[in-house]
């Protein structure tokens, strides 16, 4: 395993729509600064944004952690609950439990997780109801 070049963690609070996008913007800027190829920066930024919004809308709060080493960019989303009862359903495009209050803002298309999975080279999701959700996304640098 290559040496870690960078590790950065962002706390994401439940319901904090005003700051939504700040963590992903920070992640995008960091990767650009490191000289990561634009296509990869773009895919990581999309996955980071969807993770961040999910933490804000669906979780009780959590964090997004970016790790970069010589081989890959890794993005980890961790939260404190409520967990996902059916991961299979959650991964289906169009499936959403978003409340009407956020649907009227344009969230809740049920596209976030499918979009994260599509953009990452490796995608792993584990969730335990009443405990939390843990998502690992890896993007190969070559």
- Token output for 110: 């049920």
Helices (H) and strands (E) in the chain, counts: 5, 5
Closest distance between ligand ATP and the C-beta of residue 112, in Å?
2
Q: Are the C-beta atoms of 125 and 116 separated by less than 8 Å?
A: no
The reply to whether 62 sits near Mg ion by the rule CB under 5 A is no
Segment contacting ligand ATP (CB under 6 A): 4-12, 17-25, 28-36, 79-87?
79-87
Give the footprint of ligand ATP on residues 100-119 (CB under 6 A).
107-114
In sequence order, the 6+-apart residues with CB closer than 8 A to the CB of 76 are 64, 65, 67, 134, 135, 136, 137
Specify the residue, 35 or 94, whose C-beta has the smaller distance to ligand ATP.
Answer: 94
The reply to whether 112 sits near Mg ion by the rule CB under 5 A is yes
| Strand runs labelled E in 55-141 | 62-69, 72-79, 122-128, 132-140
The reply to whether 98 sits near ligand ATP by the rule CB under 6 A is yes
The reply to whether 54 sits near ligand ATP by the rule CB under 6 A is yes
- The contact mask relative to other proteins for 46-65 (x = CB under 8 A, - = no) is x--xx--x------------
The reply to whether 21 sits near ligand ATP by the rule CB under 6 A is no
What is the chain's length?
142
Cβ neighbours around 65 below 10 Å, total: 17
Specify the residue, 80 or 141, whose C-beta has the smaller distance to ligand ATP.
Answer: 80
């Amino acid at each position: 395993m290559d040496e870690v070049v960078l590790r950065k963690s962002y706390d994401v609070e439940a319901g904090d729509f005003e700051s939504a996008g700040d963590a992903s913007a920070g992640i995008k800027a960091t990767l650009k600064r490191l000289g990561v190829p634009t296509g990869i920066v773009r895919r990581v930024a999309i996955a980071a944004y969807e993770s961040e919004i999910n933490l804000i809308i669906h979780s009780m709060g959590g964090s997004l952690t970016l790790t970069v080493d010589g081989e890959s960019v890794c993005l980890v989303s961790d939260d404190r609950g409520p967990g996902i009862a059916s991961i299979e359903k959650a991964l289906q495009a169009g499936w959403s439990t978003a409340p009407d209050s956020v649907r009227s803002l344009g969230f809740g298309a049920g596209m976030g997780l499918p979009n994260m999975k599509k953009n990452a080279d490796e995608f792993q999701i584990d969730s335990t109801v009443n405990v939390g959700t843990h998502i690992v996304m890896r993007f190969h640098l070559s």
